[in-house]
Every structure is written in structure tokens, then in C-alpha cells.
Amino acid sequence: MNFFIINGPNLNLLGIRNPKLYGDDTLLDIEKWLNAHDNTEGHSFLWFQSNHEGEIIDHIHKAIDNADGIIINPGAFTHYSYAIRDAITTVNIPTVEVHLSDIYSREDFRKKSVIKDACIAQYFGLKKLSYLEGFKKLLTALR
């Protein structure tokens, strides 16, 4: 199966961005790690990162006819982008929301996700393992 893995703003700076919260891995490290993981064998992943809301929405639209499932870490857009939420409900492709950090143990504004209800699950606080858990959930849902 084909999966889109979409990462939002500031995630291009993983590795130097607050490693205590987000881990030491760069986004490319996470990409290589997941692509090579035993559980993901036989599946294909298209990784995408953007700091721009509209580009993320355009990419979600490309999932129509091109992806069986989507894993998205919307970054700070998680907390206020109704447009990204609408894009996910519009394409109607099973989507999992993931976060490296525990958004529920941080600032109050991070406790609210406007994306969550558009997704089949949300994983947070597991650093890069959140992406793997998201993938496993999609596999189960698509079986």
C-alpha cells in the first residue's frame, strides 16, 4: 500500500529544535528509520514537509488516487488550522495524527487539536515511535 507522511511547520529543523521535547533525530533520520523498519516492508511512503498551510492542503488533495492512508504531523497547525482539518475530511482517506512530544503536558494551547476528530487515531509523546504507531493503526484499519 501507499502512504503519505506529511509534516508541518518547523519540523524541517528537527535535530536542532528542542531535542528534549522532540528527540535528536532529524526528519531525514526518522524517514530512513521508518522506511527501513521491518513492519513497513512491502509498503511505500512518500514523505513531504512544508512550512506553508496551503502547500500542505494541496498535498493532502494529491492523496486522492495516490495514497491508501495518511500520517500527518501538522505541527502548530494542529491547534488552529480548520483548513487542514477540512482537507482531511474532504479527501476521505484514513488519516492518523501524530506528534513527537506529549501535547497534553505542555502549554494549554497545545492541548486542543482541531485535526483530531478528522482522524482515525492520534499518537503523541512517543517521539519517532508515534509515526510507527500511526502506521500500524492505518494497516489495521485498512485490512
- Candidates 57, 63, 70, 103; binder of ligand DQA (CB under 6 A) is 103
Cβ-contact 102, 20 below 8 angstroms: no
**How many residues of this chain bind ligand DQA (CB under 6 A)?**
10
127 binds ligand DQA (CB under 6 A): no
Residues composing the chain = 143
Cβ-contact 100, 121 below 8 angstroms: no
Q: How far is residue 119's CA from residue 129's CA, in Å, rounded to a whole number?
A: 18
- Candidates 1, 28, 64, 76; binder of ligand DQA (CB under 6 A) is 76
Closest separation in Å from C-beta 20 to ligand DQA? 12
- Candidates 68, 110, 114, 141; binder of ligand DQA (CB under 6 A) is 110
100 binds ligand DQA (CB under 6 A): yes
Running DSSP on this structure, what letter comes out for residue 95?
A: E
User: What is each CA distance from 138 to 55, 78, 120, in whole angstroms?
Assistant: 23, 19, 8
81 binds ligand DQA (CB under 6 A): no
Q: How far is residue 8's CA from residue 80's CA, in Å, rounded to a whole number?
A: 13
Which of 40/78 has CB closer to ligand DQA? 78
Which of 110/136 has CB closer to ligand DQA? 110
Cβ-contact 12, 54 below 8 angstroms: no
- Using CB under 6 A, list all residues that contact ligand DQA: 10, 73, 75-76, 78, 99-101, 103, 110
